[in-house]
């Protein structure tokens, strides 16, 4: 396996996730233009704390760490199958929880799969804590959404 700089890997995942999230927001706003978030009416400081600090930690633990660790304990003959199952299960859980509407469910699934893939990749590489990597990516993507998309 070719070792790429961990910061370039992070930048790659960040770019892909922001593009997918932004595309999902554009599509969502077209089909569900008046839909508001449950924290839309809250202060910017509250939104920042929930979206950039608390949600990434909680969601990484629930939707990446736990499913990936549990599936990793299963006796699946080929490791690649356990990775695929873990990524899909993690993405499915993430998509279901973010399913305010069908568009969010689909894009939540995709973003959840990206987070799970990144978690597994950094677990294999062992050059950066996978939990922290996903928390930072998730928080950064949410910060981008808070500042530029207006969540």
**Does the model's pTM come out above 0.85?**
yes
Residues 31 and 105: beta-carbon distance below 8 Å: no
Higher-pLDDT residue of 18, 129: 129
Q: Determine which of 32-41, 83-92, 95-104 has the lowest per-residue pLDDT on average.
A: 32-41
Cα(106)–Cα(110) distance, integer angstroms: 6
Give the tens place of pLDDT for each residue, 20-59: 988 888 887 777 776 677 667 778 898 899 999 999 999 9
**CA pair distance 77, 149, nearest whole angstrom:** 44
Q: What is the pLDDT of residues 127-140, one digit of tens each?
A: 899 999 999 999 99
Backbone angles phi, psi at 129, to 5 degrees: -60, 120
d(CA 98, CA 132): 21
């Amino acid at each position: 396996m070719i070792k790429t700089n961990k910061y370039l890997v992070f930048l790659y995942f960040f770019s892909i996730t922001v593009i997918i999230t932004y595309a999902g927001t554009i599509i969502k706003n077209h089909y569900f233009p008046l839909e508001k978030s449950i924290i839309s009416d809250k202060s910017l400081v509250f939104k920042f704390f929930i979206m950039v600090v608390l949600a990434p930690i909680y969601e990484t633990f629930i939707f990446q760490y736990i499913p990936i660790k549990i599936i990793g304990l299963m006796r699946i003959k080929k490791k690649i199958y356990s990775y695929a199952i873990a990524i899909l299960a993690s993405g499915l859980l993430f998509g279901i929880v973010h399913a305010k509407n069908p568009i969010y469910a689909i894009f939540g699934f995709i973003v959840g799969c990206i987070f799970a893939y990144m978690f597994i990749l950094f677990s294999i590489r062992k050059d950066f804590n996978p939990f922290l990597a996903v928390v930072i990516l998730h928080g950064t993507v949410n910060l981008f959404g808070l500042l530029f998309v207006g969540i």
